[in-house]
Structures are given as C-alpha cells and as structure tokens.
Chain A
Amino acid sequence: MRTARPIIRVPPLDTPFSLQCLLNHEIQRWIPRYCSHGDLKLDRGMIVQKRRRRDAKQRKDKKSSGLALKTADEEQQEEEISQSMAAPDLLDPKSATHNTKPRLSFSSKPIVYNSGDDCDTITTVMKWKTVVAIFLLVVLYLIIGATVFKALEQPQESTQKYLIVQEKINFLSRHACVNVSELEDLVKQVVLAIRAGVNPSGHPSNESSMWDLSSSFFFAGTVITTIGFGNVSPHTKGGRIFCIIYALLGIPLFGFLLAGVGDQLGTIFGKGIAKVEKMFVKWNVSQTKIRVTSTVLFILFGCLLFVALPALIFQHIEGWSALESIYFVVITLTTIGFGDFVAGGSEIEYLDYYKPIVWFWILVGLAYFAAVLSMIGDWLRVISKKTKEEVGEFRAHAAEWTANVSAEFKETRRRLSVEIYDKFQRAAYIKRKLSSELGQNPGQDMMPCKRTLSVNFTDELEKEGLPTLTKNGSLYLNGLTPDFPDRGEISIIEHLK
C-alpha cells in the first residue's frame, strides 16, 4: 500500500462552505463522498485515524490548520452530519463512527493519490462517466452534422446526376455511330484516369506530369502533415509500401517541427502582446479584460495573416470564389484535406516559387491553427469543468441538505429512544415498587412488549410525573407504521439493551 500525501491546499476564507469542508484536513471523511479517487480502503483507515486524532486534539489544533474559525454550532453540526452520513443504521442511537459509504462524488478529479495502478474501480467508474457523456455528445454532434449535410447536399447531387445523364443521352443521340458500350468503356477509362490524377481532357501532348519533382515534393508534404489531399496518390505497389514507411517516419518528424515552429511563433507573438499589455496596464484596465483582448487580438491578427491574406491570393491566382478560398484554407489548415480544391493543382501556369510559398504557408498556418484549435479545446474543457463544478456544487448542496435533514432525524430519534428508555426504566421501577408494596405478584409479565408506550414528539411527557402508558397510534420511527408496532417496540427494546 502506498503512502500517499494528499495534495490539499488551504482554501481562502471566502470559498463556499462545502468546498471548504472538502479541503479541511480534519474532515477528510468528506473526501470519499465528494471526490473520486483511489484507494478507499486507505481512506477508511485514515478516516478512523483522523477521527481519533481529532478527538484527542483540542480545538486549537483545528484553528491552527489555517481554516476559518468555526463556531461551536458548526462543529457540532459537522459532527452530527458526519455521524449521520455513516452507514444508514437509522435506529442506532449510538451511531458510531462507522465507515462512511461514498454516496456522491464529484465526477473526476482525484485530489490525492498517485495511485495510478492502484486505481480503484470507483475512480474509473466515475471518470468514465464523464468520458461517456462527452462521447455521447460527440456522437450527437456527428448526427447533427450528418443531417445538415444531407439536407444541403443531396439536392445538388441529384441535379448533377440529372445533368450528366441528360448529357450522355444527348451525346448518344447526336452522334449516332457511337454505341453505348463503347461510350461506357471510354468513360470508365476516363474515370480511372481521373482517379489516377491524369486529366484526360485537354491536349494529348500535355507535358506537365503530376509526378515531377515539385509535385512529388508537394505530395510528400501532404503525406507528412497528414493533410492528404488525394488529388495525386501512389498507384504502384512499391509506391504504396514506400508511402507507408515514409509516413511512419515523417509524421513524428513533422510533429517535432511543428512544435518548434509553434514555439517560435508563440514567443514572437508573446513579445508583441506583452508590449500591448504593458500599455493596457498603464491605462489601469482589469486583468481579465487584458487577457480577453490579447486573445481576441491573437485570433484577429492570425486570421488576417494566415487565413484572409492567403484566401485573397488564392482567389486571385487560382480563380476560386471567396468562399471556396476560405473553405480551402480552413480544410487544409485543419489537416482534413479533402482535395477538391488544391492550390497548385489546376492546369494553370504557376510561377516558379508559388508552390514552395504555399508549402511554407501551410507549415506556419498549421502551427497557428494548432494554437487556435487548442485554445478552442481549452475553452471547451473549461466549460465542461465549470459545468462539472456547478453540477458538483449542486450535488454537494443537495447532499448537505439531506445530511442535515437526516442528522436532525437521527438526533430526534436518539433523543426519543433515550426518553423511551428512561420512561421504561421509571415505569419498571415504579412497577417494582408497587409490586413490592402490594406483595409479590407472580406471573406478572414484565415483558415490555406487552406494555404500551406512548410516544410524543413533544416534551410533554417530561412534565408529567408518571408516564401515560397508553399507546397512541402514531408511532413513527424511521418510517415504521402503526401497522407494525410490535416490531418497532421490540427493536427499540433491543437497542436499549
């Protein structure tokens, strides 16, 4: 068993009470309830130890642990709450410091133990819940996307289909000497050629190849960056095998490069932002505003440099529309890389340095997009954490409320059972006295269960000298109905023993 050092930090005085409880060294028994983490067995031992230690210590120690000073009432309440949160043996007036069963947890973060491989099932169960929830969310997102795409695209596709079929029919009717099978053959070949990246239309003496050095360079780049346009792809066996090996080595290599470039980009931008922030600080703007403005600036500036400007250039050189250019930029820089639009992939006469510049832009733009996407990921994470916290707080409050209520209940029951016991004792004593005075009356059954007890929730009985030994019908102890009074009485008596 590992010795674990809890990484617990002292909370400031203004955090809500429930969280404060959580971090209290003295009330570590809350931890199994509110946090999910490793070894519960370890916890129980620690809990008992802590309790003993606490009982032995004085209140001064509690104060010195750095918490807010609690009043006696609060501590008493905590005591009761803790006792009530013990195993739900609700008829036990001497509710001992039993093991606490975790009833609730915050989802996720274990506070304490480095129990990587000692991970209890409880930890994994709790954490998996969050993951499953997020996973379901992703599936939902996908389904939404699918329906929207279907709605947007299917009509277009049908139109295209119709058009091309019409075209085919027209062609066949205009040129009667061509029969269908010949046309089919030609078209099949054409389609294969297109898939191979060969453009069948245009002049047959087309000199440019898709596999000259610069295009192969570009292709290698798309493989390594995992963009993978696909407008050219290897068709030979050797090419494919080589592609696999090439990617295996190249992708991590590119990953390192990207990390380095991102670093440099970050430092350059960070210096600029630092200057801007200094300016803002002079103007006494609040910290959050500075942060927000710096993020916004980062996004805007990066967008301008890596998205808008290249989009304009592509629009001009490639002849795409504005939307298509932006679409190409986004699809490339997120490494999705459909390949329907490829810079440098059309039959235009490009300048010599066009493709290398495009490649360089891809490299830097990828770093920028990695930063943006990780920022979005951070936001999503923060949102999910905040929701988790809120949900956790809500649960904590609900737990507190339940704990308070059941503590109240328990207290009342305890008092009640003590009262009943007292009254029974008094009654027995009186009976003994009476019987001794009236002479021994053998056969008188002293079985208490034949007696009737009256229970009142008020303090009326205490004022009376003699208990009224009549049973009133409503003996509600822990949900016992008057239908089963005997059981209740017997169990009370058992506990009183």
Chain B
Amino acid sequence: MSTAFRSCFVLSGFILAYFTYLLLGALVFSAIERPVEETLKSNLDSLKAEFLNLSCINATALEAFLEKVLKANKYGVSVLENGTLHTNWDLASSLFFANTMVTTVGYGHTTPLSDGGKAFSIVYALIGVPFTMLVLTACVQRLMHPLTYGPISMCQRRAGLQPRAASVVHFIVLLVLVVLFFFVVPALVFSTIEETWSFLDSFYFCFISLCTIGLGDFVPAEKPGQRLRALYKISVMVYLFVGLMVMFLVLRTFHKLADVHGWTAFFQLPSYEEEHEDKEPIVEREPDDESPEAEKASIKPQNPSSQVSYNSINR
C-alpha cells in the first residue's frame, strides 16, 4: 500500500509543481509582452485614425475592408501587392505542411481551408502521427547502439570510469554536440538566408520547431520572391525530421542516465526498457503464455506510463 500512497503523493506533487510552473510562466510572459502589445495597438489605432482623417472613407467601410483582410490573412493569402506571387499549396509547400502535421509541429501559417481538407487532416493526423513516432522510435533505437551504448562502454573500458560517471560524461558531450550542430549551426544558416531574422530569432525558431511546439510566428521559406523555394522547404523538412530524431535520442539517453542513477526508481517513473525488443525470441512462448501478454498489451493502451514523454511511443 505504501507504494500506492507514494505514487499518489508523487503525482500530486507533480501536479502542484506543474501549476506553479504555469503560473510563474504566465506572470513572466504577461509582464514582458504586455507593454509591447500596448504599443502596437496604439500605433495601429493612430494609423487608422490618420487614414480616416486623410481620406473620404468612413469608419464602417474601413472596418469592413479590414475584416476582409483579416479573413484573407487567416487563409494565408496576403493582400499586399507583392504577396500574391507564390501559392501556399504547391507540391513542396504541401509536403512541408504534411510534414509539420505528421511530426506534430503544426506551425499554422497555412491551414486547410476547405471542409474536405479539414476532414482529411483529421484522418491523416490520426494515422500519420503514430506512424511517424514509430519510425522515429525505431530509428532512435538503432541509433542508440553506435551513439550511446558504444561510447559509454568505450568510456568504461578505455577510461575505466564507473557506469554512472561514464553515462554522465557521455550525456554532456552529446548535449553539447547536439546544441552545436542542431541549433547553433542551423540558426546561423537561417539568419543568413532569411534577411529579417536575427540570430536569436533563428535560434528561437530552431528550438520551437525541434520541440514540436511550432508556434508559427517564424516560418522559413515564406518570404515572397524566395529563390529555390521548393529546395529550401524540403531541406528544412529534412532538418526538422533529423533534428526530431536527435531530440528523441537525447531524451532516450537521458532516460538511460536516469535509470543508471536510479532516479526512475525513486520517482516511480516508468523505467527505461533496455532494448527489450532485441532480446525477443522469434517464436513466443506457448499459446497459453500469449494471452496474459496480449491482455497486458490490450490494457497497455490505458497505461501510457510506458512512455514518459508523450512523443515517444516505445512499445
């Protein structure tokens, strides 16, 4: 019973911590962003007033016009003069869109407009998201061998470190490499290609995309008149996919680290299953053994505790 109590206790502790964290974030965001928003609003108001003063239109006509502009913008259609050159739904952009959907990044700079598109998105997402997660998990599992188990055991053998120390060292090195090659370097590339993005903006974009948050305030290849747009979009897609894989890898390495250090046992978290699949025999046990396993598998959907992060579907 003590473990049940303990797990309840731990869970409520987490919930509480989570709420406080959210509250804290809300306060900080509010404090930082609100003044800027106020300035923008007042600028816009004065512009509108100026416009109305200068010309013969009345407020209602302007409002109507602005409504239409808003609506068009929601559809991703820009009413500016040079904004009508490219379409948002040519093959490369649609591929990009499908990719953002399936990796759950979801920028939202283009969204399906028609009813058919929305219905198709529902079905597409429901199948595509687990599919992608499966692929990414499979890839990461294979990558773990050369990138994690290999170096760790090499550390243990060559440098004679303990497993704990070796895993920590390896994790730090991995983190540094990942940040360097998947955040800093792409940020530099983006800041050079996109003229309006600073380095911080590009770094912010890389981070928001690779964590699959995908706010959508920065989206590459959206500038009108972009050269080689299709190629650019596809390379960004590849970058996102590989980056996501690497993030999963880092997450798994962290799991292993936590496991080695016994944190998972302490927090009663789902433990890191070490290559359970690789040890599976080709033929399972006798048929009467299959049913409890399969029952477990059927009850398993209700226990997503086998994955800590929602994004990693291990088994």
Contacts and interface: CB of A to CB of B under 8 A. Distances in A.
A353 interface: no
B213 A221 contact: no
B181 interface: no
B41 interface: yes
A15 B285 CA distance: 11
B33 A149 contact: no
A184 B80 contact: yes
Contacts of A294: 298-299
Interface in A255-290: 255-267, 269-270, 273, 287
Contacts of B174: none
Contact of B15 (A212, A257, A263): A257
A409 to B, nearest CB: 29
Nearest to A142: B98
A242 B28 contact: yes
A331 B113 CA distance: 14
Interface string A146-188: 1111101111111011011101100100111110101011111
Given A9-B285, A291-B294, A370 B307 contact: yes
A259 B116 CA distance: 35
Contacts of A273: 299, 302
A134 B135 CA distance: 7
A105 to B, nearest CB: 11
Interface size class of A (residues with CB under 8 A): 35 or more
A252 B142 contact: no
A367 interface: yes
Given A217-B22, A327-B121, A340-B111, 14 more contacts: A141-B131, A147-B94, A148-B120, A175-B57, A198-B41, A212-B34, A216-B25, A216-B33, A220-B26, A236-B33, A240-B201, A242-B29, A270-B299, A374-B301
Q: Is the interface of A mostly helix, strand, loop or mixed?
A: helix
Interface in A292-346: 294-295, 298, 323-324, 326-327, 330-331, 334-340
Given A223-B213, A226-B211, A234-B33, A370 B278 contact: no
Nearest to A328: B118
A164 B67 CA distance: 11
Residue of A109, A187, A199, A212 most packed against chain B (CB within 10 A): A187
Contacts of B112: 149, 152-153
Interface stretch (A243-251, A414-422, A475-483): A243-251
B280 to A, nearest CB: 5
25 contacts: A111-B281, A138-B135, A141-B102, A153-B94, A154-B87, A157-B88, A163-B72, A168-B79, A195-B217, A198-B44, A200-B44, A209-B37, A220-B26, A251-B211, A255-B308, A259-B307, A260-B305, A266-B302, A291-B295, A327-B121, A338-B106, A371-B303, A373-B130, A374-B130, A381-B134
B66 interface: yes
B69 A8 contact: no
Contacts of B11: 260-261, 263-264
Given A171-B65, A239-B32, A374-B304, A154 B89 contact: yes
Contact of A371 (B47, B51, B79, B301): B301
The list of the 5 closest CB pairs from A to B, nearest first, reads: A266-B302, A230-B216, A336-B106, A220-B25, A228-B213
A11 interface: yes
A235 B77 contact: no
Interface in B84-113: 84, 87-91, 94-95, 97-102, 104-108, 111-113
Residue of B100, B106, B132 most packed against chain A (CB within 10 A): B106
Contact of A117 (B100, B107, B134, B145): B145
B215 interface: yes
A70 B130 CA distance: 45
B282 A153 contact: no
A266 B302 CA distance: 4
A350 interface: no
Contacts of A331: 106, 121-122, 125
Interface residues of B, number: 151
Contacts of B102: 138, 141-142, 145
B54 interface: yes
B14 A260 contact: yes
Contact of B14 (A257, A337, A366): A257
B223 interface: no
A374 B308 CA distance: 12
B282 A19 contact: yes
B282 A258 contact: no
B97 A149 contact: yes
A231 B109 CA distance: 10
A10 to B, nearest CB: 9
Contact of A8 (B56, B63, B281): B281
B215 A233 contact: yes
A161 B68 CA distance: 11
Residue of A161, A184, A206, A210 most packed against chain B (CB within 10 A): A161
Given A175-B55, A371-B302, A378 B122 contact: no
Contacts of B126: 330, 334, 373, 376
Contacts of A200: 44, 48, 66, 70
Contact of A259 (B21, B204, B308): B308
Given A12-B287, A335-B104, A263 B305 contact: yes
B168 interface: no
Contacts of A438: none
B109 to A, nearest CB: 8
B119 interface: yes
B300 interface: yes
A190 interface: yes
